Amino acid sequence: MTAVAFLDYLSVFVFALTGALVASRAQLDLLGFLFIASLTAVGGGTVRDLVLNRETIFWIANPRYIGVASAAALLVFFFAHRLENRRRAIDWFDAGALAVAVPAGVGVALDLGHGPAVVVMMGMMTGAFGGLMRDVVCNEVPLVLRQGELYLSAAFAGAAAALLIRWGVGPTPLALLGCAAVTFLLRAGSMTYG
């Protein structure tokens, strides 16, 4: 499994958790959980693949991603009532998912040989679009745009970190790791101290 494929799996699973938690807040039924979980999980990567004109969308090429998103949706469907604070859980899972989705977008754009502007855009879009669709469809204030959250700033800083590491001595896997770390630390910091 390549580094990008692993990041895609992980972000699909964790974004699906957040989608299912939002579905739980909206009191949807089982298929509503599966739908919103899948939309959130594959939305960002789908936009990335469409815009970059990749041969096949990642989850069409490998439908196991749908299985992963469905498993996350079922998990939340049966156990969400045990969570005391779903909003808080959504925010933390989302931070984790963002920290894997941004490097997943950066990695694909680097693989295809794109320049820095496109790499940064792909990192931000892959990170932000799944959650944006989730919140727009479920009529929540988009987390991506909520004030004082440094959401897009964390994604931008992560993507920029990846470029800096690559321009220095770093190989791509190290750049993606640095991207994930910077994104998560900034996002988690704004949630803890913001």
For the chain, the distance separating the N- and C-terminal CA atoms, rounded to the nearest angstrom, is 37
Q: Which of 132, 185, 131 is nearest to 158 (CA)?
A: 185
Q: How far apart are CA 190 and CA 194, in angstroms?
A: 4
- Least distance in Å: CB of 169 to a second copy? 25
Residue number, 3 or 52, with CB nearest to a second copy: 52
Q: Which residues bind a second copy (CB under 8 A)?
A: 26-32, 34-36, 38, 46, 50-53, 55-57, 60, 63, 66-67, 114-115, 117-118, 121, 124, 128, 132, 136-139, 141-142, 144-145, 147, 150, 152-153, 155-156
For residues 69 and 38, the answer to whether their CB atoms sit within 8 Å is yes
For residues 130 and 143, the answer to whether their CB atoms sit within 8 Å is no
- Least distance in Å: CB of 4 to a second copy? 18
Residue number, 32 or 170, with CB nearest to a second copy: 32
- Least distance in Å: CB of 109 to a second copy? 9
Residue number, 117 or 169, with CB nearest to a second copy: 117
Residue number, 169 or 192, with CB nearest to a second copy: 192
70: left (phi over 0), alpha (psi -120 to 50) or beta: alpha
Rounding to the nearest 10 degrees, give the CA dihedral for residues 91, 92, 97, 102. 80
- Least distance in Å: CB of 37 to a second copy? 12
